[in-house]
């Protein structure tokens, strides 16, 4: 008895072309290509002043931490009322990264210890070394 069901035929060349097309799209839309090609591009930043604070006191360190967190939220858009989970997540990640970089750039042992205790995240030593 002959089967009336016929299996679709797939040619190896069709699979190869599909795989190459998918690979090509992956390269075109990779995160490295998303970088701004403009050589004068400057990321958004905000100056955090702390010369008025006593960084030898817990209160001074706590106040500087608050200023850093506020600046990070301001720069990253963390204060916006976003109903998009993706936008909220991106702003939160940006603020965490920005605050961490600011703490590394200030390079104060008491501030670093305060930040590490508060967040449970260690400052990336490479970020600190890159700023020197």
Average pLDDT of every residue of the chain: 75
Say if 27 falls within a structural domain. no
pLDDT digits (tens, 9 = 90+) for 65-108: 999 999 999 999 865 556 778 888 888 999 999 999 999 999 99
Whether 117 is in a domain gets the answer yes
Q: Which residues of 19-53 are buried (b: 16+ CB within 10 A; e: fewer)?
A: eeeeeeeeeeeeeeeeeeeeeeeeeeeeeeebeee
- The region of weakest confidence among 18-22, 56-60, 100-104 is 18-22
* pLDDT value of residue 81: 59
Question: Is residue 33 domain-resident?
Answer: no
> Who wins on pLDDT, 36 or 116?
116
The least confident of 21-30, 44-53, 85-94 is 21-30
In a domain, 1, yes or no: no
Question: Tokens 């190459």, residue?
Answer: 20
Q: Could you tell me what percentage of the chain is helix, strand and coil, using 3-state DSSP and rounding each to the nearest 5?
A: 60, 0, 40
Task: Give the domain extent around 74.
Answer: 58-130
Residues with Cβ within 8 Å of 54's Cβ and at least 6 positions away in sequence, in order, are 60
Report the domain count for the chain: 1
């Amino acid at each position: 008895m002959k089967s009336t069901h016929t299996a679709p035929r797939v040619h190896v060349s069709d699979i190869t072309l599909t795989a190459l097309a998918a690979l090509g799209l992956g390269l075109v839309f990779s995160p490295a290509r998303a970088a701004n090609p403009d050589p004068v591009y400057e990321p958004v930043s905000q100056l955090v002043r702390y010369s008025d604070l006593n960084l030898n006191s817990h209160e001074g360190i706590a106040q500087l931490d608050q200023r850093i967190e506020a600046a990070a939220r301001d720069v990253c858009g963390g204060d916006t009322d976003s109903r998009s989970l993706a936008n909220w997540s991106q702003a939160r990640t940006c603020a965490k990264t920005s605050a961490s970089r600011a703490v590394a750039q200030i390079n104060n042992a008491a501030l670093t210890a305060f930040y590490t205790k508060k967040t449970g995240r260690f400052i990336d030593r490479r970020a600190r070394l890159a700023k020197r």
